[in-house]
Amino acid sequence: MLYRPELNPLIVVLGPTASGKTDLAIHLAEQLGGEIISGDSRLFYRGMDIGTAKPTADQLARVPHFLVDILEPDEPFSLAMFQRLCNDKIIEIRSRTHLPILVGGTGQYIQAVTQSWQIPVQAADMQLRAALEEIGREQGVDALFRYLQKLDPPSALVIDHRNLRRVVRALEVIYHTGRRFSSQKTRGESPYYLIQIGITWKREELYQRIDTRIDQMITDGLVEEVERLRAKGYTPSLPSMSAIGYNEIYAYLMNEISLEDAIIFIKRKTRQFVRRQANWFKPNADDIAWFDQGADLLDRVRLYIQNRLVYSSKQ
């Protein structure tokens, strides 16, 4: 056995969009006896495959994957629900003496698990929420976001200024409690022996990978995928459909923009998203082992993990 179960190890593979997290995690799982838990909020939803760069059927078959395709696009989900499900899956994987590997680029989902966030339980105030959403529709989500910047600058740094649902939720909690939304996600002590792996790229090389990936998504049928979702009644107002790519293609299908403009917007917003992803991990960068992408990435990462596990088992 590679490790003593009492170590309670959790491997985390993180990095920006298009950095190669999926391929690395699958190879690590195959070589180290691991099973994968998705920490990417975009992969939860069925029927949203191309635009989310979901692992292919072949990739999913190579090693067990969890928290992929667990919801319909109109089903509600929350950070607290993810945290509970993820912790349950870690226990389940460990019961098989396998190595849990948490993979994703959604910073708050990863940190909710690795930092044992004590997530505030604030019941939804539907009347307040409706009022805030109405302001967002009339004045634009940017107007609400400016309120959030004044009331809670730390939250504004990591919440997408275009995501009406998340902006409204943060303001809703602030108005109810009188406290910053960011201050209510307190950090606990992690129950896991964390080995966090980050993948880095030179910025321009990563941008080129992003552009190539998005062009391939169009070739693979992203427009048709969004059309199928639209035919089922799923609209851009759903949180799931706020994922980059779906809103833009939906606008194209509604003849609001050209396909060429939709692709330009998707590439631009994905680059902006990459910069926000970096904000999530900067405060904890010293706890993450960063690896530059390269031909021998898998060997370097595997050796690092094995050394950490073997070293710790001798303590």
Q: What is the pTM of this model?
A: 0.83
pLDDT confidence of residue 163: 75
Q: What is the side-by-side strand order in the sheet with 193-200?
A: 65-66, 34-38, 99-104, 9-14, 193-200, 288-292
Q: Are 304 and 197 in contact (CB under 8 A)?
A: yes
Q: Which two tokens stand for residue 64?
A: 């067990």
> 1: how many CB neighbours lie within 10 A of its CB?
7
Q: Which two tokens stand for residue 307?
A: 């050394």
Give the three-class secondary structure for 244: coil
pLDDT confidence of residue 6: 64
Distance CA 5, CA 99 (A): 9
Q: Which domains does the chain have, with CATH numbers?
A: 6-118+186-313 (3.40.50.300), 126-184 (1.10.20.140)
**What are the per-10-residue average pLDDT scores of the chain (315 residues)?**
68 94 97 96 95 95 97 90 95 94 90 85 71 82 87 81 78 78 70 94 95 98 98 90 93 97 97 85 83 93 92 52
Q: Are 48 and 229 in contact (CB under 8 A)?
A: yes
CA 134 to chain centre: 27
pLDDT confidence of residue 147: 84
Query: If phi over 0 gives left and psi between -120 and 50 gives alpha, with beta otherwise, what is residue 164?
Result: alpha
Q: Where are the alpha helices (DSSP H) in the chain?
A: 21-32, 57-62, 79-95, 107-114, 126-139, 141-151, 153-158, 164-177, 203-220, 222-231, 246-253, 259-281, 297-313
